[in-house]
Structure 1
Amino acid sequence: MLDSLGLDPVEERVYRFLVTTAEAEVTDLVGKLGIDAETAETVLVSMRVRGLVRTVGPGRRRFAVVAPDIVLGSQLLRRQQALDWARREVDRLSEEYRDNARRRDAGRLVEVLPDRGVLRERLDHLQENARREVLSLCRSRAIALPAEENLAEPDALRRGVEYRVVYERTLLEEPGMQANVAYGVKLGEQARAAPCLPVRLTIVDREVAVIPLVQEAGVSEPTAALVRGGQLLEALIALFEGCWERATPLRIAEDGALAEGTRSCPLGSDDLYLVSLLVAGVPDKSIATQLGVSHRTVQRRVSNIMELAGAQTRMQLAWRVATEHWL
Structure 2
Amino acid sequence: MLEPVGLDEVAERAYGVMLREEQLTVGHLAGLLDLAPARARQALDGLVTAGLAQCHPGRPARYEPVDPRTGLTGLIRARQRELERVAASVETYAADYHERKLRADPRLLVEVIEGPNEITRRVGSLVNSAEDEILAFDAPPYVSPGDTTSPSERAALARGVSVRAAYATEVLALPERARVLREMIALGEQARVLPRVPTKLIVVDRREAILPLTGSDAGQRTTAAYVRRSGLSDALVELFEAHWAVATPVFAAADAAEPVDPEISPEDRALLQLLNAGMKDEAIARQLDLSQRTFRRRIAHLLNRLGATSRFQAGTQAMRRGWL
TM class by smaller structure: 0.5 to 0.7
Taking the TM superposition and a 5 Å limit, the aligned residue runs for 1:1-327 are 1-5=1-5, 7-24=7-24, 29=29, 33=32, 35=34, 39=36, 41-50=37-46, 51=48, 52-55=53-56, 60=60, 63-69=63-69, 71-144=71-144, 148-218=148-218, 222-251=222-251, 254=266, 259=271, 261=273, 325-326=316-317
Q: Distance in 2 between matches of 1:180 and 1:157?
A: 14
Deviations 1:183-234 (A, max 9, x none): 1222222222333333222222221221111134528870100112333323
Q: Distance in 1 between matches of 2:187 and 2:227?
A: 28
Percent identity at matched positions? 28
Specify the code of the residue in structure 2 equivalent to 1:45.
R
Q: Distance in 2 between matches of 1:323 and 1:169?
A: 19
Q: Distance in 2 between matches of 1:26 and 1:249?
A: 71
Q: Distance in 2 between matches of 1:130 and 1:91?
A: 15
Residue 217 to residue 230, structure 1, CA distance change in 2 (3 Å):
farther
Query: Displacement, 1:126?
Result: 1.6
Q: Distance in 2 between matches of 1:66 and 1:183?
A: 55
Give the secondary structure class of the aligned counterpart of 1:222.
Answer: strand
Specify the code of the residue in structure 2 equivalent to 1:173.
A
Q: Distance in 2 between matches of 1:256 and 1:188?
A: 22
Give the secondary structure class of the aligned counterpart of 2:193.
Answer: strand
| Matched-pair contact (CA < 8 Å) for 1:157–1:189 | yes
Residue 293 of structure 2: aligned partner: none
Q: Distance in 1 between matches of 2:118 and 2:143?
A: 12
Aligned residues: 265
| Matched-pair contact (CA < 8 Å) for 1:137–1:166 | yes
Residue 256 to residue 132, structure 1, CA distance change in 2 (3 Å):
farther
Q: Distance in 1 between matches of 2:9 and 2:28?
A: 18
**Structure 2, gaps ≥5 residues long:** 253-264, 277-311
User: RCO higher in 1 or 2 (8 Å CA, sep ≥ 6)?
Assistant: 2
Residue 176 to residue 7, structure 1, CA distance change in 2 (3 Å):
closer
Residue 293 of structure 1: aligned partner: none
Q: Distance in 2 between matches of 1:59 and 1:239?
A: 72
Q: Distance in 2 between matches of 1:180 and 1:256?
A: 21
Query: Displacement, 1:322?
Result: 7.8
Q: Distance in 2 between matches of 1:248 and 1:61?
A: 73
| Matched-pair contact (CA < 8 Å) for 2:25–2:60 | no
> What's the TM-score once normalised by structure 2's chain length?
0.66
Residue 259 to residue 226, structure 1, CA distance change in 2 (3 Å):
farther
Residue 296 of structure 2: aligned partner: none
Residue 237 to residue 260, structure 1, CA distance change in 2 (3 Å):
farther
Instruction: Decide which structure has the larger Cα Rg and report it.
Output: 1
Q: Distance in 2 between matches of 1:163 and 1:34?
A: 57
| Matched-pair contact (CA < 8 Å) for 1:167–1:193 | yes
| Matched-pair contact (CA < 8 Å) for 2:141–2:221 | no
Residue 291 of structure 1: aligned partner: none
Q: Distance in 2 between matches of 1:77 and 1:163?
A: 32
Residue 310 of structure 1: aligned partner: none
Q: Distance in 1 between matches of 2:193 and 2:7?
A: 63
| Matched-pair contact (CA < 8 Å) for 2:2–2:12 | yes
Residue 219 to residue 181, structure 1, CA distance change in 2 (3 Å):
closer
Q: 209-218 or 64-73: which moved more?
A: 64-73
Query: Displacement, 1:251?
Result: 2.1
Q: Distance in 1 between matches of 2:206 and 2:103?
A: 18
Q: Distance in 2 between matches of 1:152 and 1:205?
A: 15
Residue 322 to residue 233, structure 1, CA distance change in 2 (3 Å):
farther
